[in-house]
């Protein structure tokens, strides 16, 4: 049996998404920047997708900018705003839980003379908004906090953080890549100035994402070229990808509640089965987390060995972020929770999807139990 339980890394493209994409590879292949009919048909398709995403986020279509994915969108939001407004201040605030593209963007800006404050979470992976508020200075330019963590699934109080950022007129950005599939991301309710999405995290295609940017916000582009996306993001539009993202957003808006119930039910079943294993515990807050996420520590078990053995049984899981899976470094997220090296190396991430079945969950639980027992016995 093949069981995919790594949906935080990527998701399969929904068949209905693929169907709407296919014409834009062959028959409707025009460049949206062209003024002839082929180009205008492609432009219409891009505009329709933009409108769909805008409606989902509760903003205007002119506030949506397409990118190659969330990494580019996060870089554009953080570097683009910081560089455009550095005369107003050079102090940035983010958290120790952020995706590497956010942390590395901030590190790049440090090399340019910016100062970065890194907020630590509590032991359950939740950021206290007051800790951010206490760090705000007269020269604070930007705050960036992810909505949901990609490793441990914890949800952050974005609206509360957004409220005091708005009051203090500080640019507030949130990476909502993992959250969008399960949480409403209406930008006015969240009180964000910028928000990023990536289609392949919610059953859309890879290689396309978008940045919501509040109207009249000035960014400095990070790419030079033909001036597409209102001059903010140069490069020929990925029309099939954009069309696919629009459809994926449409479907998520229709099916979010149903999908959330389905994955939470299977996730809770999996935890009920796995908690019977001795010396296993959950990383992150059990309540304030995505409904599909389980990040577990199996004491005295090497997580990499467990992952490999599960792969041989046809079960796909992860030990952390797929965006840095080739790295031998310990998870910065787990370290931020206060875990020691041994615990970090004993962790496993399981993230379910809308199509996982009870049979798959029970099969995975049984294999995990058997392999954990075997790996522990080898240490005796």
Catalytic positions, written as ranges:
323
What is the 3-state composition of the chain as percent helix, strand, coil, each rounded to the nearest 5?
45, 15, 40
| 149 contacts 97 by C-beta, under 8 angstroms | yes
Q: How far apart are CA 268 and CA 108, in angstroms?
A: 40
Tokens 């509040």 belong to: 214
Q: How far apart are CA 293 and CA 307, in angstroms?
A: 16
Neighbour order of strands in the sheet with 171-175: 64-67, 209-213, 194-198, 171-175, 140-144, 91-95, 115-119
CB atoms within 10 A of CB 202: 25
- And the tokens for 149? 């963590």
Query: In 38-66, which positions are buried (b, 16+ CB within 10 angstroms) versus exposed (e)?
Result: eeebbbebbebbbebbbebbebeeebbbb
- And the tokens for 5? 């339980």
Tokens 């950022």 belong to: 165
- DSSP, collapsed to helix, strand or coil, labels residue 319 as coil
| 80 contacts 74 by C-beta, under 8 angstroms | no
Q: How far apart are CA 218 and CA 193, in angstroms?
A: 11
- β-pairing, 64-67 with 194-198? unpaired
Q: Residue 66: beta bridge partners?
A: 210
Tokens 């031998």 belong to: 328
CB atoms within 10 A of CB 325: 12
């Amino acid at each position: 049996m093949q069981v995919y339980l790594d949906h935080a890394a990527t998701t399969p493209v929904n068949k209905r998404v693929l169907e709407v994409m296919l014409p834009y590879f062959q028959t409707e292949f025009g460049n949206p920047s062209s003024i002839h009919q082929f180009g205008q048909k492609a432009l219409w398709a891009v505009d329709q997708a933009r409108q769909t995403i805008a409606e989902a986020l509760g903003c205007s279509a002119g506030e949506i900018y397409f990118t190659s994915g969330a990494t580019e969108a996060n870089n554009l939001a953080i570097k683009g705003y910081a560089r455009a407004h550095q005369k107003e201040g050079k102090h940035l605030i983010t958290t120790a839980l952020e995706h590497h593209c956010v942390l590395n963007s901030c590190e790049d800006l440090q090399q340019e003379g910016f100062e970065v404050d890194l907020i630590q979470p509590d032991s359950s992976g939740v950021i206290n908004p007051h800790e951010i508020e206490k760090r705000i200075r007269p020269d604070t330019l930007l705050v960036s906090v992810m909505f949901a963590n990609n490793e441990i699934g914890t949800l952050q109080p974005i609206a509360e953080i957004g409220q005091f950022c708005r009051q203090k007129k500080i640019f507030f950005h949130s990476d909502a890549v993992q959250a969008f599939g399960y949480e409403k991301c209406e930008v006015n309710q969240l009180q964000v100035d910028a928000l990023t999405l990536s289609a392949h995290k919610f059953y859309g295609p890879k290689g396309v994402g978008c940045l919501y940017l509040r109207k009249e916000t000035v960014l400095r582009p990070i790419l030079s070229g033909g001036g597409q996306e209102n001059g903010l993001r140069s490069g020929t539009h990925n029309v099939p990808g954009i069309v696919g993202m629009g459809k994926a957003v449409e479907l998520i808006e229709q099916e979010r509640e149903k999908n959330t119930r389905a994955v939470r039910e299977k996730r809770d079943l999996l935890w009920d089965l796995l908690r019977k294993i001795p010396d296993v515990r959950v990383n992150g807050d059990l309540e304030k987390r995505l409904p599909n996420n389980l990040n577990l520590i199996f004491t005295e078990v090497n997580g990499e060995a467990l992952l490999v053995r599960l792969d041989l049984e046809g079960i796909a899981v992860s030990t952390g972020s797929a965006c840095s899976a080739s790295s031998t470094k310990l998870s910065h997220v787990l370290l931020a929770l206060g875990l020691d090296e041994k615990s970090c190396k004993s962790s496993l991430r399981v993230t379910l999807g809308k199509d996982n079945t009870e049979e798959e969950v029970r099969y995975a639980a049984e294999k995990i139990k058997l392999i954990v027992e075997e790996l522990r016995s080898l240490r005796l």
